[in-house]
């Protein structure tokens, strides 16, 4: 793959994201530390170039152009962060650049609000709220970061894909949700907050659990019937734990009776009362094989359940996801389910 002639700055968010997606989809360089380090540097420089363009536009009073440049920078820095997955120091540097750019973007027009959400026990969670563009009563999505990722890291990744849509976003860290004894109660407090906002349609609030938080999103959709759409693991994490527990209690390594397993899958599916997008990913909790079985069962039930899986490249440093295309699919699905006049 020849990226030598690829420009440092493409003055268009859609083009920048297409370039990032193509890079991630076609990445075929040798899996060496030197290779990954080289691409971390190149994508960091691309992000820094966009960042400088944004700063220059801000000085000229061209706020819209500044925001677009910073969104391009966020996409590039996220690519660098993922390429640096095996280098903790480089990964932290990329994360810091993402957080710094998020702060720049949030300083304009109050687009991003830092919101402390109170729980029933009077504890607070610091969340980040992005209001929908040009909408007075818009749907909203509660987005939960994966383990060991800050809310600002997820926000930086989602800003370029969410900012132009008619959907508000409330981002919360997995750590803050998991620190509560009942994560579903904490998320219900987030939903309460959104429902009380004058710019949010309380009847169109969804949830999205990134990575390992997909299981948390499932439990929230089960426990709170106000959830209008869920991007989650479909209950497969708890389902797998239940099967493993059964095998341990019975003292046998034999696979459980398929009829019993099938019946339990059907009962699990019936718990959903809203449209569901099951995410099958190495970063999440649902394997593709189990998710496919769940989808097969759902086809015979009165439930709107779909399956999505990101394209990944496997290296000795782990798997690198095409997060750009993946996020577009997820928010395209959310838009379709929460906005009445949208189309996939």
Beta bridge partners of 278: 232, 307
Once rounded to an integer, what is the mean pLDDT over residues 212-228?
A: 93
Segment among 44-58, 146-160, 315-329 with least mean pLDDT: 315-329
Once rounded to an integer, what is the mean pLDDT over residues 315-344?
A: 83
Once rounded to an integer, what is the mean pLDDT over residues 59-79?
A: 94
Evaluate the CA torsion angle 328, 333, 338, 340 in order and state its sign. Answer: positive
> Is the Cβ–Cβ distance between 44 and 77 less than 8 Å?
yes
Q: What angle do CA 192, 195, 197 make, to 5 degrees?
A: 115
Question: What sections of 84-182 are H helices per DSSP?
Answer: 88-106, 151-162, 174-178
Burial of 343 (0-12, 13-18, 19+ CB in 10 A): exposed
Q: How confident is the model at residue 107 (pLDDT cuts 50, 70, 90)?
A: confident
Residue 10: which residues within 8 A CB-CB, separation 6 or more? Answer: 16, 19, 72
Radius of gyration, alpha carbons of the chain: 21
How far is the C-alpha of 279 from the C-alpha of 300, rounded, in Å?
Answer: 20
Q: Are strands 168-172 and 138-144 parallel, antiparallel or unpaired?
A: parallel
- Residue 310 Cα distances to 278, 281, 313, 318, angstroms: 12, 7, 10, 14
Among residues 1, 102, 96, the alpha carbon closest in space to that of 44 is found at 96
> Is the Cβ–Cβ distance between 334 and 141 less than 8 Å?
yes
Segment among 76-80, 110-114, 271-275, 291-295 with least mean pLDDT: 291-295
Helices 323-338 and 13-26, axial angle in degrees (round to 10) = 120
Residue 339 neighbours by CB distance under 10 Å? 18
Q: Are strands 200-209 and 168-172 parallel, antiparallel or unpaired?
A: unpaired
> Is the Cβ–Cβ distance between 83 and 159 less than 8 Å?
no
Q: How confident is the model at residue 7 (pLDDT cuts 50, 70, 90)?
A: very low
Residue 214 neighbours by CB distance under 10 Å? 30
Residue of 321 and 255 predicted with greater confidence: 321
Once rounded to an integer, what is the mean pLDDT over residues 20-37?
A: 74
Q: What are phi and psi of 266, to 5 degrees?
A: -60, -40
What does the pLDDT look like over 131-168, one tens digit per residue?
A: 987 667 899 999 999 988 999 999 999 999 998 889 99
Once rounded to an integer, what is the mean pLDDT over residues 120-140?
A: 85
Q: Of 37-46, 114-123, 194-203, give the range with the top mean pLDDT.
A: 194-203
Query: What are the structural domain ranges in the chain?
Result: 13-106, 112-338
The domain 112-338 having CATH identifier 3.40.50.1820: the answer here is yes
Residue 180 neighbours by CB distance under 10 Å? 17
pLDDT at 214 > cutoff 70: yes
| pLDDT on residue 5 | 40
Residue 281 neighbours by CB distance under 10 Å? 23
DSSP assigned state of 212: G
> Is the Cβ–Cβ distance between 98 and 114 less than 8 Å?
no
User: Mean pLDDT for the chain?
Assistant: 83
How far is the C-alpha of 218 from the C-alpha of 234, rounded, in Å?
Answer: 6
| pLDDT on residue 277 | 94
């Amino acid at each position: 793959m020849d990226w030598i002639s690829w420009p440092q700055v493409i003055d268009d968010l859609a083009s920048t994201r297409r370039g990032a997606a193509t890079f991630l989809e076609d990445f075929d360089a040798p899996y060496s530390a030197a290779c990954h380090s080289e691409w971390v540097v190149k994508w960091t420089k691309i992000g820094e170039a966009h960042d400088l363009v944004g700063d220059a536009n801000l000085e000229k009073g061209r706020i819209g152009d500044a925001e677009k440049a910073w969104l391009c920078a966020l996409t590039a820095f996220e690519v660098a962060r993922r390429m640096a997955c095996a280098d903790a120091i480089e990964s932290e540097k990329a994360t810091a650049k993402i957080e710094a750019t998020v702060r720049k973007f949030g300083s304009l027009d109050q687009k991003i609000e830092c919101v402390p959400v109170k729980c029933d026990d009077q504890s607070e969670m610091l969340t980040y709220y992005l209001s929908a563009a040009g909408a007075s009563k818009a749907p909203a999505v509660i987005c939960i970061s994966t383990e060991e990722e800050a809310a600002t890291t997820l926000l930086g990744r989602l800003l370029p894909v969410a900012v132009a849509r008619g959907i508000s976003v409330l981002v919360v860290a997995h750590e803050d949700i998991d620190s509560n004894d009942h994560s579903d109660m904490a998320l219900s407090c987030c939903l309460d907050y959104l429902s009380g906002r004058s710019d949010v349609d309380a009847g169109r609030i969804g949830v999205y659990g990134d990575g390992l938080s997909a299981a948390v999103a499932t439990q929230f959709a089960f426990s709170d019937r106000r959830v209008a759409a869920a991007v989650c693991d479909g209950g497969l994490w708890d389902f797998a734990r239940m099967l493993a527990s059964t095998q341990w209690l019975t003292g046998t390594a034999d696979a459980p009776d398929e009829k019993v397993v099938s019946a339990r899958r059907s009962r699990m599916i019936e718990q959903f009362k809203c449209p569901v997008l099951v995410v099958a990913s190495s970063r999440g909790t649902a394997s593709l094989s189990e998710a496919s079985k769940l989808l097969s069962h759902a086809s015979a039930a009165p439930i709107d359940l779909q399956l999505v899986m990101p394209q990944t490249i496997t290296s000795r440093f782990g798997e690198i996801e095409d997060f750009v295309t993946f996020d577009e699919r997820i928010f395209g699905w959310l838009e379709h389910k929460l906005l009445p006049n949208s189309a996939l």
